[in-house]
Structure 1
Amino acid sequence: MPHEPVGPAVHGDGEALASPFVKCLLRLIRTQDSFGLWEGHSDAELLAEFIITKQQQRAVPFGGDPDPDALWRLDMFYTAVALAIEERSGVSTSPTIEMKPVGASGGWAFCRDVHRFGFETFRKLAEAGTKLVDDATAAIEA
C-alpha cells in the first residue's frame, strides 16, 4: 500500500494527527505491537507519550540514565524521520545513532536533555518531524 509523502507543517492538533509525518510515526509505532495490545487505541492515545508539558519536563530529574520510555520516544521519532525521508526521496536512509542506557552511547554528547525528549502538542510534534524531513529532502535534491 503506497503512503502519501510527508507534506508541509500543519497548524492544529487535529490536522497534526492527520499529517503525513505523524501517520508515518503511527505506522512505525503500530509495527512495534506484536501482541495486539494497542489495536483498540486511537492515534492520539498512541502518541500521548510524546506529549510532555513544560511542567512535566521540569519535574524530570536530569542526572542518571534516561528513562527507557524517553529513549524509546527518541528512537521512534528519528526512525520515523528516516522512514519519511526515504518515502519522499526514494533514497535509502536510517538513523545513525542508537541511544542506549548506562552511558553506552556516544549520541549523548550531541543530544542535550534526552531525559526530557517530547513535544508540548501534537502540532509541535508534527512540525518538528516535518521540518527535519523537508530539510533533509531539500539537501538530497540539491
Structure 2
Amino acid sequence: MADLSDTDREVLKRPFCKALLSLIRAQDRSGAMESDTDAELLAPFIVTKLQKRDIPMFGDPDPDILARVEQIFMAICWLIETETGVAAAPIMNIHHEGWGRIVVLTGRLVAVNAHMRELHRFGYENLALMEEKALKFVEEGIKAVRQFPDVAAAG
C-alpha cells in the first residue's frame, strides 16, 4: 500500500483515520507495529475486487478480519462519542458463516444498526471509500443521539 493516491493521503489526515490509527496503535502491546507507517497499518483494510474474488467463502471468518471489523466500529463509536459527549459501544453478533449484525449502543439507544455479510471478504477498495462508509454510520449515530438524547443518556 505504499502507492497511496493523493485522495487517500488526505484521508489519512482526517478524524476517522486518525481515530482508527490511534486504536490500532493502542492495541499494539508488544510494540511490534511501532515502526509501521500509517499506510502500512491500514493496508489490511484495503481489499480490491480482484482480491475479494480469490478469497474463499467457506469456514469461519478469520479472527484478524473480525478484529478489523471491530476496530472500524470502535473508531465509529469514538467519533460519535466525541461529537455528542455520550459514550458509545459496539456489539457484534457474527455467525460463523460470515454474516451478522453490529449495533452501536449509546445508553439504551441503538444508535447504529448495521447488517454485515460476506465478512470473509471484508475490506474496502481504498481509504476514501472506507472513510465514506464509516462516516455514514457516524452521521447515523449522531443523528439518533440528538433525536433521542434522554434514551442515549439513560444507563
* Short-chain TM bin: 0.7 to 0.9
Distance in structure 2 (CA, Å) of the matches to 1:117 and 1:45? 17
The SS at the match of 2:89 is coil
Instruction: Work out which of the residue numbers 111, 121, 126 in structure 1 matches 2:131.
Output: 126
Partner of 1:5: none
Partner of 1:23: 18
Q: Is 1:96 the counterpart of 2:118 in the alignment?
A: no
The SS at the match of 1:12 is helix
Normalized per residue, which structure has more strand?
2
Tell which structure's C-alpha radius of gyration is larger.
2
How far is 1:126 from its partner?
A: 1.3
Distance in structure 1 (CA, Å) of the matches to 2:101 and 2:143? 25
> Which letter maps to 2:78?
L
Instruction: Work out which of the residue numbers 73, 92, 103 in structure 1 matches 2:68.
Output: 73
> Which letter maps to 2:119?
V
The total of aligned residue pairs comes to 129
Partner of 1:8: none
How far is 1:106 from its partner?
A: 6.1
Distance in structure 2 (CA, Å) of the matches to 1:99 and 1:17? 29
> Which letter maps to 2:7?
G
> If the length of structure 1 is used for normalisation, what is the TM-score?
0.82
CA contact (8 A) 2:11 2:127 kept: yes
Instruction: Work out which of the residue numbers 57, 60, 64 in structure 2 matches 1:62.
Output: 57
Distance in structure 1 (CA, Å) of the matches to 2:45 and 2:51? 12
How far is 1:15 from its partner?
A: 1.2
CA contact (8 A) 1:50 1:73 kept: yes
CA contact (8 A) 1:26 1:46 kept: yes
> If the length of structure 2 is used for normalisation, what is the TM-score?
0.76
CA contact (8 A) 1:75 1:98 kept: no
Distance in structure 1 (CA, Å) of the matches to 2:141 and 2:35? 34
RMSD: 2.1
Instruction: Work out which of the residue numbers 111, 115, 121 in structure 1 matches 2:120.
Output: 115
CA contact (8 A) 1:75 1:99 kept: no
